[in-house]
Structures are given as structure tokens and as C-alpha cells.
Structure 1
Amino acid sequence: MKSSRIVHPCSGAAMAAVRMRLDRIIRVSVLALAIAFPLLTCNAVPARATDASEPDSSGVAAELEQEQQASQLELRSVAEQAALAARALSALEADIAALRADQQELDRKIAETAARRAELDQRIAAGEQTMTGLSERQEAVRLSLVARRSVLAEVLAALQRIGRDPPPALLVNPEDALSSVRSAILLGAVVPEIRAETQALAADLKELTALRQAIASERVSLAAALAENSEEEERLARLASEKAALHEQSRRRLERERQRAEALSVRSSELEAVIATLAGEIVSLREAAEAARKAEEERQRQLAERLERARAFAAVAVPDKNRIMPAYAFSKLTRSLPLPVEGETVRHFGTDDGTGHMLAGQVLATDKGATVVAPADGWIAYAGPFRSYGQMVIIDTGENHHLVLAGMETIKVAAGSFVVAGEPLAAMGQTRFAGSAALSLASERPTLYIEIRKNGQPVDPRSWWKDDMSSRKASNDT
């Protein structure tokens, strides 16, 4: 047969976008099928079943563990802050105790100062009494001097006269002698008294001077004591005020630290309760996850037994045409599936698609209006148009395998339904679609694009097609 030259009109980026779009369609279709299939099959056992409770439980348990770890970290931080607050409280209490001791010492000094002030007051009172007595004595001396002023004046006048006109010693007149005798008699009588008065006067004057000096000294001493006592009182008052301010400040700080410590204690209790609750929830979730895992294992075991019995039955019997699950595991059907349509392969898997990229599937050139059938049992994950590639059908064949068929004109199946091998799916058109399989052929014959995916990755489909000379017994019977 004469080969035709194949040219790819699309860019590599467009081809990659098409593949990404196809991957999204497959994932969304599989999810929709997983949701709708239990409603379609009712009590039937699906070929592939997944239990979402265990992953969900595991996810919730992981989130709770993370929350528990965060709470434990916060609890440790709160405990450290509480320890710091406790140390701060101890230091403040020690400071307050020292301030109280200082306050007591100040109180003692203030009491001593008050005692000294009382003593000074007594001394001042005694000094005032002494000064009063001295003043009275001074006044009495002054009055005594005033009272004897006339006598003293006469004595002093007589002394002055004698001093100015002394009596004759040898020769005297009779009159002068008589005067001298009289003067001598008078002086004899007065001089002793004058001497006594003079001595008393001198003593009084001396005592008056001493009293005045004592009064002045006492006044100076009392003034100095009063000044010293006032300074001591002022200093103690300042110290007492400062100590009172420090005591009040320390008291407020102590109150704040106590409130902070109480708040930290409350927060610590709350965190401990949260951690305990989370621990209980984690244990419950783990127990539930373990129970779900065991239930899933048991269900999978029962499912495996039923599938094994089904496989054993299928090996010796014709599959039921009314089955609602694959009769065979898709991975066991290698080299046994017929092509979905009669035609000529114009592109193989892995060959150059014309843009330097590897072709992810296989392209068949078919006859006009040819019928496309299902190569194997499966669920229709998607059925509908896909860009410029015509109609597309995605079959979920089980075991994470998907069969993609594109380039058809009409579709005869709906998404969510179950098809058996050989069941008609669609019909080819009269000409090739412009974007079918993203290829450009010299011929206008209809082309069918075939792609088999395992776990979302394209694989070579040739390993599933049976040879022309092989028996058709291995294919799924319709």
C-alpha cells in the first residue's frame, strides 16, 4: 500500500494543552462516575472501590495532631512565661520586704527624731524658764542699783570732793580741823558701807554679765538644736516619701505580675484541657481509622474472593451479557483485545507526530460511517465533543486504566453507563475531523484516535491488541 505523507498542523504547546485538557476530563469523569456508580449498581459490588473514611480520618487526625503540637508549643511558652512571672514575683516580694525593712528603720529614726525633738522642747522650755529667772534676776539687780542710786551719788560726790580738796595733814585751822574731823567721822561711818555696797554692786554687775552671756549661749545652742532637728525631720520626711512611692510602685508591679501570673495559669489550664481533648479526639479518630482500615481490608478481601470466583467462573463460562462490572481484569487482557474499529494504522505510539513530539496514542484510518465498539468492559467516564477532535468517549476499564477514543461523528452511549466488550459506542463520519488526534493527513478518510492510559499516563496500546491469527475466545463476549 502506498504510504501517505503525514503533516501535523498544530504546535507542541497546543498538543500539550490538549493532553492537559484530556487529563482533566478523565479525572473529572472518574470522580463523577465514582459518585454516580453506586446509584446505578445499587447492591452490586464494584470492581474498584475506595474507602474515603480512612483518608479523611487520617487527614483529620493529622490536623488534630498539628493543632495539638501547636497547643503544646504554646503551653511550653506559657509555662516559661509563668516561670519568669514567678521569678519576677519573688524578686518583687523581696524588694517589697526590703522596702518594708527600710520603712521600719525610717520609722525608728523618725521616732528617735521625735524623741530628740521632745527633749529639745523640754530643754527649750527649761531654757525659757532659766531665761525668765535670769531676766527676773537681772531686773532685780537693775532695780537694786536704781534704788541705791542716791546713796551712791552722795558717796561718789564726797569722794570727788575729798579727791579735789584733801584735808591738811600737819597745820590746820580750827575750822579746817573741825571740818576734817567731821569728814573723817563721816567717812569712817560711810566708807565700810560704801565698800560693801561697791563689792555687792560689782558682784551684781558681774552676775548680770554672766547671766547675759549664759542667756546668749543658751539661745545659740537652742537655735542650733532646732535647726539640726528641722533638717533631720525634713530628710526623714523625704526618705519616707521616697520609700512610700517605691513601695506603692512595687505594690502595683506586684499586682500586675500577680494578675499576669493568674492569666497565664488560666491559659495554661485551658491549653492543658485543649490538649487533653485533642488527645482524646486523636485516639478516637485513630481507633475509627483503624476500624475503617480493618473493615476496608475485610471488604477488599471479600471483594477479592468474589472477583477470584468471578474469574474462575469466567474461565470456564461465557460472561453474562447483563453484567454491570468487568468480567475480566483489564491488566489480564493483554494481546487479547480487538481493535474498536476496522481500519489501517497510520500512526503508532511513540512515533513523531510531525512537530518533534512523541505521539501518545494510535491513529486508525477507517471507512466512512464505520461503527466503533468497546474493546473491553468498562464504565463510560466521558462521552461528548472535545474541541475540534469530534466526539470523544473515555472508558474506565478498571485498575486505574482508561481507554480514550476520539474523532467520531455520533455517540450512542451516555456518561455513567456500563458497556460490555463489543457494544457499539459511536459511528465514524464521512470525512476526517480537522483536529482529529491533532494530525493532518493527505487523505480525507475518517481517522480514530486511540489512547490507553494507566494511572493517568499514556502507554503503548499495541500490547493489548490481539494478533490477526490469534483466537477470539479471549475477547469479552457480547
Structure 2
Amino acid sequence: MKVLAVICALIAAPLCAQPPAEAAFAASARLQDARATLQVAQGRSDRVAALTETVQAYEAGLAALRDGLRRAAIRQRTLETDLAARSNEVARLLGVLQTMGRAPAPILFLHPSGPTGTARSGMMLADVTPALQDEVTALREQLEEVALLRGLQTDALSILRDGLEGAQTARSALSAAISDRTDLPQQFLEDPVQMAVLLASAQTMDAFAAGLAQTQTGGGPDASTVKGAVPLPVAGQVIRHFNEADAAGVTRPGILIATQPRALVSTPLSATIRYAGPLLDYGTVVILEPAADTLWVIAGLAEAFGEAGQIVPDGTPIGLMGGIITDAQAILNESVQGSAGQRTQTLYLEVRDRQGVVNPADWFAFE
């Protein structure tokens, strides 16, 4: 199939460098690859790692497809507007071509003034013909691109539906695989009575973090050597920085990351889970210890994975964001309107050491 050949040729190229239609085709190929990966991942021994890669592949493919469809819709509107504005010019061009096409070739070169006029008309026609050919070629390419973009919109609905369904299947399989996991090293066993007392007594995050510090276990991972270069735990955009006031004038000693609904949250480095569950007014929280006397507070999750005391390697899923995933038709409508989708969920990230809160920028690379 011609389209499939185009997809295969473009899948490895950066989407931002490709024309809109080609970028969308390449993104759909990514989703097809993710679907194949999901089938393989179910039977692998390292199911958690394989399914994590699958979920991330679906997320990346869907994001790229939405962006490609948005860019394709904008390009289609631009071409159609240009063609509409040039309708008179196109009509005149077609009229000239039809006249030339109906006239026998010898008559085109005859001129009533005789041989000299005929020679001049032949020279003029030789000059005009390449320009007409260029116009015809440009017009044909625009019409072909419009047809391709319209066909893309027609096929996109089924591609989006398959991608969304596959992503949800992969998330469910990942949750089940994490629940069944027994291979993680355990740095300590949580004392449920001690934790219940701490949760009941701590009225602030400061108090809770101080209580965790008093139960320091030691001997865990040490990620202090990569401070400043750690990737964020979720794909998204930082929309509020350290101690930056929100619209109500409230400041918090962390950063806020806007994400897509149901985005996968992973630990970027090996760390010990110090706490996982609901906490104060932070919602569902996972607190990681990537180095001695350092805590990462990751809040705003809909689901938390893992148990306190487990040492999780880098890339391990620790939760999922909440929100409702837009259906395929709504995504397509957004794309036609020029929108790439809204990041409706927010993840809160706070970093603490024994002296208190520190700027997450000391640890994380925001770009």
C-alpha cells in the first residue's frame, strides 16, 4: 500500500521537521508499533518494564498524532483559502490550457503578419510555456496535498480509537503486573501503627516530612551525583515554579506540572519509596528518597503504585494521573479546530532535605 510505504519511510524522522501530513502518518505508525509491542509485552518475564515502555509509546504516539492532525488541519485550511483566493487566476489558467489543447499545433505558431510575426509568436510561446507548466505543476501539487489531508482526516478516527483503546489496555495490564510484582528489593518494612500515628498527628507537610526523617533507615540509593540533570517524573509542562504565586496569590514550595489525563508517572532515578497513599490536602502522594536526607514529594496522583520500603529502579511507574480521556471524535474535532489537546491535570513536585524545602530546579532539568 502506498500510504504504508510512506509511513515506514518517515517513522524514524523527527515529527517537527516533517510536513503535517507526513508527521501524522509517522505518528500513526508509532501507534501501530505500540500495539505490536503490547502483544509481545504480555508474555515477557520483565512485564512491568515492557508494559511501561508500551504505555509510554502509546502516550508519545497519541501526542504526536494529535499534533500532526492539528498541523494538518491548519495546513489544509491554508491551502483551501489560498486556492479560493486564486479562483479567478486558476480559471484563467485552465481557460488558456484548454484553448491551447484544442488548437492544432501548427496553428498555434501561425501569425497573420507573416513569417516574421510567426517567428516572434513562436519565441513568445516558448517563453510562456515553461511558466504555464510551473503554474500547472504548483496547482496540481496543492490539489494533491489537499486531497491527502482530507483523506487523513477520514482515516484518523479509526486510528485514534485503536490508539486510545490500546493505551487503556496497556495501563490496565501494567497496573495488574505491578500488583503481582515480587522482585523489588525491600529496604525496610513499614510499621503500620507508627505510620498511622504519624498520619494522625502531622498537620502539615513539614511535620510529616520531619516524622519520616526520624524513621531514617539509610543504605538506600544515592542520586546526589546527578543533581540538576534529573528528568521530570511525567511528560508535561512546568506551569508554576518554586514559590511562585498562583491566581489566588497562594505560594507553594514546589513546582506544578501540567499533564495529559491518565499520564504515566515514573521515578526518573532509583529511589526508596518512603510513603504512598493519601496525605493531608495533597491528594494521593508518593514520597521517594533518592538520596540520604532527601525526599521528593510527588502529589496529585489518581493512583499510586508501590509500597513503602521498596527500592524502585529508574523508570519504574509510581502512579497514574487522573482525569477523563477525550474520546476519538472529540480529539479529531479539536484537531480540526487547530487544538492539540489540553493538559488538564497537574502534578505537584516538592523537594525536601533536612533543612527544609529546596528549589526542585536544584535537582530536575525542566526542559
| TM-score, reference length from structure 1 | 0.29
State the structure with bigger RCO (CA 8 A, min sep 6), 1 or 2. Answer: 1
| TM-score, reference length from structure 2 | 0.37
User: Whose Rg is larger?
Assistant: 1
More helix by share: 1
